[in-house]
Amino acid sequence: PNVTLLRHGCIGTAPHVPSIAFTLRTLSVYRETHRPCPRFSAEAEIRALCYLNRIPYQAALANHFRITYDAYLSIRHEIQSRINNALGRSTPNWRALNSCPACEYRLENEPKLPFSKLVALDGNNSLRRIDPTAISDRTPLLDGRGPLTDYWIDSMTVDRFKDEVKKAKKPPEDAAAGADSHSICVERWRNAGPEERKRMWAMFAETGIFLGACRHGFVLFICDMIQSGELAKYPLALTSQLIDLFGSDIAIGYDIGCAFSST
Ligand SMILES: [Zn+2]
């Protein structure tokens, strides 16, 4: 039935005997709205749709919508993967290596610049996601999905760098000698302070994202910040990927570079 429904521009809420379906137009509008405003939930969308259609809101409808929206996103992803395959864009790190023509399109006999690429790194807390189990008795929802694109660095890769900070810590006398250079940053910037001070409220499962972009604004790598503030493992993971891919003659800008350089 879903094949027939899809031919008519709808996706059913169940694979075999769907009793409810959402139009592709509704799902597409929700996707475009949700991208600039991630807090716009499926529940809010269904409340609005129920109001527009003059029917009473039911919580089950929001669940149906979430299931259908997941199916819609996986169909879109499959289509995009097939297009990428056909265009030869499915090689590892294709996006990071090819997204910016200004950085990556090199001319013959082009003079070598002091740095082959300028990259900026920073974290942001706008995409915080509340952990439902921290604020209620709900059973945790396990999400076994991993990143679908290779510019997302998964949490296991990031966690490989979590012990690097401890390893790189200087003995106390060295730390005291070098304290002047970034003591002002440590005072003024929470992210430049000690790792223990970067704890986030326990209610957030994800506390934001950390990303690296070239100087023309193209995102090269991105990772989730999970149950923590802006720990050093995030910039370390991104820096490692950037150096592996572009070599060590890149310049990286980071707002707490003074504190990060000692890591
Ligand atoms: Zn660029």
CA separation for the pair 230, 227 (Å, rounded): 10
Residues with Cβ within 8 Å of residue 21, at least 6 apart in sequence: 5, 10, 11, 12, 13, 68
DSSP per-residue codes, 116-182 = SEEEEEEEE-TT-EE-HHHHS-PPPPP-----SSTTEEPHHHHHTTTTHHHHHPPPHHHHHHTHHHH
pLDDT, residue 219, reads 92
pLDDT, residue 177, reads 44
**What tokens were used for 179?**
């304290």
CA of 219 to the centre of ligand 1 (A): 9
Note whether 120 and 213 are within 8 A (CB). yes
Residues with Cβ within 8 Å of residue 12, at least 6 apart in sequence: 1, 2, 5, 18, 20, 21, 68
CA separation for the pair 213, 258 (Å, rounded): 19
Which range scores top for mean pLDDT: 26-30, 168-172, 243-247?
A: 26-30
CA of 106 to the centre of ligand 1 (A): 12
Give the model's confidence band at 199: pLDDT under 50 very low, under 70 low, under 90 confident, else very high.
Answer: low
CA separation for the pair 263, 254 (Å, rounded): 13
List the domain boundaries for the chain.
2-86, 94-260
| End-to-end Cα, the chain, rounded Å | 57
Q: Which residues pair with 117 in a beta bridge?
A: 250
DSSP per-residue codes, 203-260 = TEEEEEEEEEEETTS-EEEEEEEESSSS-THHHHHHHHHHHHHH-S-EEEEETTHHHH
CA of 114 to the centre of ligand 1 (A): 15
CA of 105 to the centre of ligand 1 (A): 10
CA of 115 to the centre of ligand 1 (A): 12
CA of 237 to the centre of ligand 1 (A): 20
For residue 192, the 8-state DSSP code is G
CA of 128 to the centre of ligand 1 (A): 28
Note whether 5 and 12 are within 8 A (CB). yes
Count Cα neighbours of 175 within 13 Å in the Cβ-side half-sphere.
9
Q: ipTM value, please give it.
A: 0.96
CA of 256 to the centre of ligand 1 (A): 22
pLDDT tens, residue by residue, 45-97? 999 999 999 999 988 999 999 999 999 999 999 999 999 999 999 888 898 89
CA of 239 to the centre of ligand 1 (A): 16
CA separation for the pair 253, 260 (Å, rounded): 11
CA of 178 to the centre of ligand 1 (A): 34
pLDDT, residue 16, reads 84
Of 64, 20, 21, 25, residue with least CA distance to 42: 64
pLDDT tens, residue by residue, 135-193? 777 777 777 777 788 888 888 888 888 877 666 655 544 444 444 555 666 666 666 66
pLDDT, residue 173, reads 47
CA of 33 to the centre of ligand 1 (A): 28
Of 178, 201, 206, residue with least CA distance to 262: 178
CA separation for the pair 260, 165 (Å, rounded): 10
CA of 211 to the centre of ligand 1 (A): 14
CA of 103 to the centre of ligand 1 (A): 4
